[in-house]
Amino acid sequence: MGYESIWLKRAALPEGATAPKTIAETIAQELTALQNLRDDMIWAYLVTDALPEEGYDIVVNDRKADILGGSAVGVLYGIYDAQRQLIVNGTVVSVSERPACPLRMLNHWDNADGSIERGYSGRSFFFDDGKLLIDDRTSFYARLCASVGINATVINNVNVRGDATWLITDRYLERVREMADRFAAYGIRLYLCVNYAASIEIGGLGTSDPLEPAVAEFWKAAVAKVYAKVPSLGGFLVKADSEGRPGPHTYGRTQADGANMLARALAPYGGTLIWRCFVYNCAQDWRDTTIDRACAAYDYFHPLDGMFEENVVLQVKNGPLDFQVDEPVSPLFCGMTKTNLMLEVQAAQEYTGQQKHVCFLVPMWKDVLRFRTYAYSEHDRVEDIISGTHRRGACGFAAVANTGNDENWTGSDFAAANWYGFGRLAWKPQLSAEEIAAEWAGLTFEDSTVRNVVTKVLLASYGIYQSYTAPLGIGWMCNPNHHYGPNVDGYEYDRWGTYHRASCKAIGVDRTTKGTGFSAQYSEPLAKLYENPETTPMKHLLFFHRLPYTYVLPNGKTLIQHIYDTHFEGVEELRSLVENVVAVQGMIPEKEYTRIMERFGMQLSSAKEWRDRINTYFCRMSGIGDAKRRKIYAVSEEDLVYPGE
Ligand code: GCV
């Protein structure tokens, strides 16, 4: 088919295979790929009512393996499992698998003109110049997604503008259906982002007030048309009242009013309405210390808990701000027990090195999934909530995709591990980061030494990235707009609600009840733990507290010394990680190796820039020197003090 299919490249499709039109054709192709991997075994499959729809069992008896699925999709997932086992371990064993999250979804921020918002891997392979692209890559993409259990995708940006507003009209629906059919052959449902103001922009109405009957009628008619052409559509995803996008607040209505109006239009067709909770005031005055963006989503949505239609799912970003390197888990997971929830993470590395830096995000996502909310007497982890343990309606897990039309799909070869890892976690949150990294390395590289090195690199990468960027959960400190590279005050005097408020004595925002009150949005005992710096997890210390540079951390270091140490050590650890990869040069195909090294070069120089800017800023600001006398660009040694010396 002409494209390198990254982690499935060794599961070769039959010679001359064309894009499958039905799931039966996909199964036939993938069975051949399986047979090619192991032709001395008999592979058989069966669909059975005894299993849940997407579940499967692989039953191995000597040289025969039966793949039983609750549906054709279940069988397909079973075949991919067998392929994975063969490629990674060289053998296949019996397994019994059921997906955890009902919705396992990618959100693409692709624009109709072919650009990608926060895209770091080339241009869109769904759109170009106002047109939908449907080609072999569409099916290859679907294959990669299905191979890790992803069952839903949203192909257009949540910021729906211009041509994209027309995706739900005759102008596009024929092509949308073709796209949906391509995906359906891999068990994937297509969703679309819609423009909340479509009733104005394409409907000719003067309003998008959700309580205005003409607006509801507009959507009913639009949805009827969509489903007449694309009956398999999963539903809509909406960003409203957020970062300049229109929404019900314009009319003094609530988020529930807006979501329910759309959900009612979708309900007759079994459609789901996914509504984002990323609602905050993005025109803040930095001088006003009483407003805290972190509080916004909970303030808006918590009072509406239980007021959403059954086919509404609220999509909640993992943290209360915006995909920073490390944020506490959004308190909405504590406070929305009567509403369907979806977790949203960002595989696109907007704030985590933009796919120039290696940053395997699975360890961070695991922390979010394992987080105990204390919202239920049992099964109260985020992974329980998004698996639908407590709800009848849909729940799930979404990732902002990191793909583009680059040859290797994700710009950085290692970034593909985040796409892969997201799918695996949405299927089975209990998998460890180690297992996922080893699986991906095993699928992608042949040599066992290389596999071990790559696994090691992936697992160390997040901690290293964390250590040389903004310290202890405070976030931001990046260049405005494009968000790459350090700029400590880049967002300090801006309108986005993203402040560190460093002075010569202290740093951080007090988000306890003595400050903005954010900590009180959590259930007990969390609220109490976050109230006190001594019981706040160290990685989130500066998210919750304003502390002097001389504050002594649990590791015995002062805050300022910790900043210096982590930043110096982070760069050194990165250097040694790179050396590990250099040591296996020759065992990695040359093209991949060259690409990896180019990215490491960019990462190293950026990491040094981070180290020096952060250290210098805080050294100059605090007037406290580094106890280890490493190179910091303080203006003059005489400006500095060395406490305790
Ligand atoms: C799609 C952040 C990004 C925006 C993005 C937004 C969102 O603010 O910088 O590019 O817009 O999140 O999630 O809606």
For residue 261, give the CATH number of its domain.
3.20.20.80
Q: Are residues 117 and 213 in the same domain?
A: yes
Q: Are residues 162 and 76 in the same domain?
A: no
Residue 539 lies in a domain: no
Angle in degrees, CA 364, 369, 372, rounded to 5 = 115
Q: Are residues 266 and 196 in the same domain?
A: yes
Report the pLDDT value the prediction gives residue 3, as an integer from 0 to 100: 63
**The last residue of a domain, from among 73, 97, 121:** 97
Nearest Cα residue to atom 11 of ligand 1: 159
Q: How far is the CA of 11 from the centre of ligand 1 (A)?
A: 36
Q: Which residue has the tokens 């905050």?
A: 280
**The last residue of a domain, from among 377, 396, 431:** 431
Residue 379 lies in a domain: yes
Q: What share of the chain is helix, strand, coil (3-state, %, to 5)?
A: 40, 15, 45
How far apart (Å, rounded) are the C-alpha atoms in residues 54 and 99? 7
Q: Which residue range forms the structural domain that includes residue 464?
A: 445-509+546-645
Query: Model confidence over 574-624: pLDDT tens digits?
Result: 999 999 999 999 999 999 999 999 999 999 999 999 999 999 999 999 999
Q: Are residues 417 and 464 in the same domain?
A: no
Residues counted in the chain: 645
Residue 439 lies in a domain: no
Residue 373 lies in a domain: yes
Residue 39 lies in a domain: yes
The closest-lying atom of ligand 1 relative to the alpha carbon of residue 317 is: 13
What 3-state class would DSSP assign to 259? helix
The pTM (predicted TM-score) of the whole model is 0.98
Residue 197 lies in a domain: yes
Q: Are residues 93 and 193 in the same domain?
A: no
**The last residue of a domain, from among 82, 97, 112:** 97
Q: Which residue has the tokens 């008896």?
A: 61
Low-confidence residues in the chain, pLDDT < 70: 1-5
Q: Per the structure, how many domains does the chain have?
A: 3
Q: Which residue has the tokens 């990732």?
A: 399
How far apart (Å, rounded) are the C-alpha atoms in residues 53 and 539? 40
| Cβ–Cβ < 8 Å for 85, 92 | yes
Q: How many CA atoms lie within 13 A of 181 on its CB side?
A: 15
Active site residue 243: yes
Report the pLDDT value the prediction gives residue 209, as an integer from 0 to 100: 98
Residue 108 lies in a domain: yes
| Cβ–Cβ < 8 Å for 343, 382 | yes
Q: How many CA atoms lie within 13 A of 327 on its CB side?
A: 22
Token code pair at residue 561:
């010394």
Residues 6+ apart with CB under 8 A from 219: 198, 199, 261, 262, 265
Q: Are residues 566 and 422 in the same domain?
A: no
Helices 433-444 and 72-89 pack at an angle, to 10 degrees, of 80
Report the pLDDT value the prediction gives residue 391, as an integer from 0 to 100: 87
Q: Which residue has the tokens 């259906």?
A: 177
| Cβ–Cβ < 8 Å for 86, 443 | no
Lining residues, ligand 1, CB within 6 Å? 109, 117-118, 157-159, 239, 243, 278, 322, 350
Q: Are residues 293 and 377 in the same domain?
A: yes
Residue 620 lies in a domain: yes
Q: Partners of 131 in the beta sheet?
A: 128
How far apart (Å, rounded) are the C-alpha atoms in residues 214 and 209? 9
Q: How far is the CA of 157 from the centre of ligand 1 (A)?
A: 10
Nearest Cα residue to atom 8 of ligand 1: 322
| Cβ–Cβ < 8 Å for 146, 77 | yes
Compute the Cα dihedral for 637, 639, 642, 645 and give only its sign. Answer: positive
Q: Beta 152-154 vs 103-107: how paired, if at all?
A: parallel
Q: Are residues 393 and 451 in the same domain?
A: no
Q: How far is the CA of 71 from the centre of ligand 1 (A)?
A: 37
Report the pLDDT value the prediction gives residue 1, as an integer from 0 to 100: 47
Q: Partners of 340 in the beta sheet?
A: 313
Q: Are residues 91 and 122 in the same domain?
A: no
For residue 477, give the CATH number of its domain.
3.90.1330.10
How far apart (Å, rounded) are the C-alpha atoms in residues 226 and 552? 60
How far apart (Å, rounded) are the C-alpha atoms in residues 385 and 342? 8
| Cβ–Cβ < 8 Å for 603, 574 | yes
Query: Model confidence over 96-124: pLDDT tens digits?
Result: 999 999 999 999 999 999 999 999 999 99
For residue 14, give the CATH number of its domain.
3.30.379.10
Q: Are residues 382 and 454 in the same domain?
A: no
The closest-lying atom of ligand 1 relative to the alpha carbon of residue 157 is: 1
Q: Are residues 382 and 273 in the same domain?
A: yes
Q: Are residues 500 and 583 in the same domain?
A: yes
